[in-house]
Amino acid sequence: MRKLLFQVAALLVAAGAMSACTGTPGPVSSSSGTATAGTSGTSDTSGAPAPDTETSVPAPAPPSSPAPSGPGAGNAELAIMVKPSEAEPALNYTLVCQNGVPAAESKHPAADAACAALKNNAALLSPSIKGTAQACTEQYGGPQQATVTGIVDETPVDVTFARTNGCEISAWDAAREILGVAGGAP
């Protein structure tokens, strides 16, 4: 019975992944919080449900969270673009760090602080995934926007920042040193 439940769970996860790729509906959540697939059907002689039999299993675990915070190697090659407002031109910086120390090719207003921040917390550029069920305060922190692309400790980075709600303001404030002078939004 346990093996059958694992097989059904694996099929539901695969169907959900397939529906995400193809745009077709996958497993449907019932009011009891369990995943339900198919509509009706019968069992074959082995006792296994037919493919279209209604089956309930616990919902799969949520996706894993971003990289854990904590010290990193402090190696980075980043292109940083900060747009203070719609009317102002974007500011572009280059940040290159080796073991938490800025390299000569860095063109960043506070390269020492930015490299130190990345070495002390390698996950600064891995904010929570947007669109999750995380509750955010509905407050406006300003028109500032930023994009950071490159590599931190051999991990690709492509992240955007804004100040349009409490969660985004918090992520912006955490990455303030990396965003540079224009990142010091009020």
**What's the confidence (pLDDT) of residue 122?**
81
Identify which of 134, 138, 140, 165 has the alpha carbon closest to the alpha carbon of residue 66. Answer: 134
- Whether 31 maps to a domain, the answer reads yes
**175 CB-contact burial (10 Å; exposed 0-12 / middle 13-18 / buried 19+):** buried
- Whether 106 maps to a domain, the answer reads yes
**What's the confidence (pLDDT) of residue 17?**
45
**What's the confidence (pLDDT) of residue 126?**
79
Q: What are phi and psi of 17, to 5 degrees?
A: -65, -40
pLDDT digits (tens, 9 = 90+) for 13-58: 444 444 444 444 444 444 444 444 444 444 455 555 555 554 444 4
Q: Which residues of 99-125 are buried (b: 16+ CB within 10 A; e: fewer)?
A: ebebbeebebebbeebbbbbbebbbbb
**Taking the complete model, does pTM exceed 0.75, yes or no?**
no
Q: Which of 6-15, 87-96, 120-129, 137-146 holds the top average pLDDT?
A: 87-96
- DSSP 8-state assignment for residue 43: B
| Residue-number span of the structural domain to which 81 is assigned | 76-126+137-183
pLDDT digits (tens, 9 = 90+) for 98-112: 999 999 999 999 999
Per the DSSP assignment, residues forming a β-bridge with 162 are: 145
92 and 121 inside one domain: yes
**81 has a pLDDT exceeding 90:** yes
Both tokens of residue 101?
């120390």
Say if CB 158 and CB 126 are below 8 A apart: no
- Whether 67 maps to a domain, the answer reads no
- Whether 116 maps to a domain, the answer reads yes
Alpha helices (H) in 23-137, listed in sequence order: 111-120
- Whether 100 maps to a domain, the answer reads yes
